[in-house]
Structure 1
Amino acid sequence: MATAPLHAVAARLHEVIGEVLPHRAVAVFTEDCTGRPQKKAGDPAITELVTIAELDAVRGLVAGGEQLGSAIVAGEERKVCVFGATTGAILVLCEPGDATYPGAESYVRAVWEMAATRIRQQVAEARPDYLRESRALSTERLQVTAELTARHETDLETVLATLRGRDLDDTRARLLATEMAAVALVRVRAGSDLVVALAEEPVSQAFERLRTDLRPLSRHGGTQVQFIEPPPDGRALPGEVAHAARAIVRSAVLLMREQDDVARIRVQWNCDGTNLLISVRDDGPGHLDQSRSPLRQLTARATALGGSLAVEAVATWGSEIEVRIPLDPPDTSDTALRMWDLGPRETEVLRLLVAGRRNRQIAVELGISENTVKFHTSRVYRKLGVTSRAAAAAMAADAGLSLTGDLGPHTPRR
């Protein structure tokens, strides 16, 4: 577990834990990993259907190392065994069997704590490959939005059916509709908060975490680290940008401290609305060279997110490292469409899927039959390698496919 890469953590847990506590599937939920907050392994009947909203609900029902007898997972109430971790992540064992030896539970808890700690460490390191994957493949938080949209649509249809029904008088119908709408509103707001929490980190919070990381250097390292606060109302940072920024600054500060006669290092974050701007300046001899291996590694982190890093060193005046990281991913929609080899009509259908249209609405907007829509959606699923409209919409939205792009002329059916 200590050496498992992020993409293999769930599979490794499933294998190792299964030796002492048999189970059908494992699901990990961690907000540390913003690109893929859930990691799953085991029976596809569970892993392909479990949602982030379900795992977040399970997390809300347990605390620390407590266990839960049953929970809704993959759309059904199932027997589960839930383990917390000091990082705040949870491990859910779905439909566990009998332990193979008396100490199994303690063993599982120890292995899971190791895995959760390792996940946080790997995210904090912000390796370029992780940053690229997190930005390019962060489809799960978009899938949460798709799940919320589908659920909200069902809530609205239920309210309308209640108001239109003939079995209730007007007063009773209005009362029931009001109660349903209130419950739906709470659910939507909670889901919206979850999406934001997974996707973004307030810039002041991200900077405070950096300050906490570097505080020991000022106290015990002999070097004063000064912090220039970012604007408190600055734009929130995408998770992968916050991770990369902290990792770059930590490494830059440690690199500067290795020089002789460095008494003070200044760290400053700012934002121009579209980029996070980082400046790390020292009062040392001014000998930093961008060709050095450690600085090449920092440059790789910045470029992995479409950013840049520059070093300016002036003898006897010190060195400054300036970093620019764009807050929004580049527009990759054209590249994605070419990669998926979608035809013009398939592209139109996919755009409307992203916009949340149902088959009947797509048929009307494009002037084709519902059966033709189903034919095109099945081809889209196959080319994208997915099995549901939520997954297709999430992949397309993550690739930057426009919701308002020109769908071309068409004549609606009458």
Structure 2
Amino acid sequence: MVYADWGDPQRTLAVVKGLVRAPLKEVLATLSAALADLVPHEALVMLTGDCPKSANWGYGDVELTGDVTTAELATLATHVDVGKPWWGQASLAGAARPVLAVASAPPGSAGALLAVVVSAEGAPGPEVLALVQQLWDLATGRVVELLPGAMPVDMAAPWIARSERARAVADVTDAHAATLTALLGVLRSRTLPDDAARRTATDVAVAALVELRATDEDAQLPPEESLQDAFGRLTDMLSLLSRHGDVALEYSAPGSPQRLIPSDIARAARTTARGTVLTMLEQGGVERIRVSWDAEDAELRTVIRDDGPGTLAAEALAVHRLTDRVGALGGTLTVDAVPAWGTIVTVRLPLAAPDVPGSDPLGDLHPRELDVLRHLVHGHRNRAIADALHISEHTVKFHVGRILRKLDVRSRGEAAALARAAGFPPGVSLTQ
């Protein structure tokens, strides 16, 4: 349906009727069909603050929608105002793509963003932009209508606000705190002459500006990082705090340096480590801090030990929102302080994000998880799945772990049996 066809009341009402009656799982599919000729596209991706199960929904090209991250959508959301469509290049699924983005926040909604990954060249005209905005307002209203009582909006603390926006604010705050700590270390130094102190302070400020620019680049990181690269970014992040201060920072690099871990987990581990080090420095009497990483099958463990007074309380870490950030990812943070011996802070982050169980667990699986489940049904092992889907074995383990939790089963065999019983994938018998 091209734009001229929207002048036909019958066809327009048919589209509207389809949207306002669509089941929850078919809202994006219905909207995609309505936009097919109006705005030719490869995929639709939605970021919502209303659904307590998942903030990121997608429809269309499975490879594309499966790789779009919530962080990418949250970054895009900063350019889009409610009711004002946005057109331009945006990074989605790790690449710059032409995107039409619209945002809507009807009464009772925490707000939702739609990213239309377009396949045609040239920006849509203003009349098309206005029409897409109206259709998205209808679609968002339908989503809100179908999610009553899932979680009160005023109590939901939507994922986009709780995780992405709060994380970004906390990270920038900690970056500024680290810069100020480094500058104070230079100014208090008794070994640097005045001229050298001024030059050094300038170097610290320039390094901080470089790090702030690199913070924007974090959103462009691939879905996975090697442990070696992730830990290297951590040591670079902390280098300001020890370069000209009186506290020695020591590092214990992780084993299996080429192992891949989710970038979101690596970033959370880095920022948590920096916040912990800052908190330890604030208590005074610290001469040495040791930071170590260790990745096990299901978790990334960070251990930070100081030789300070041993009086650090867990509440002190709340200043940098560390407990909140770790808890939002399903991790744990423990503080073991022994007077006169120092403090040990241990952070454990799961290498798979927690999920909220639903009444239809198979329906809660994302497209990439369904791809992996399809291979599990056929009895394929991790290496074969990785080769078929062009991903690493660790990523396969990541998806298998999420599948087992979402389906509430204990083994790959149970997951395969449940999928067959649900008729997935079509054509596979229960006795296969």
TM over 0.5: no
TM-score by length of 1: 0.45
Larger RCO, structure (CA 8 Å, separation 6 or more): 1
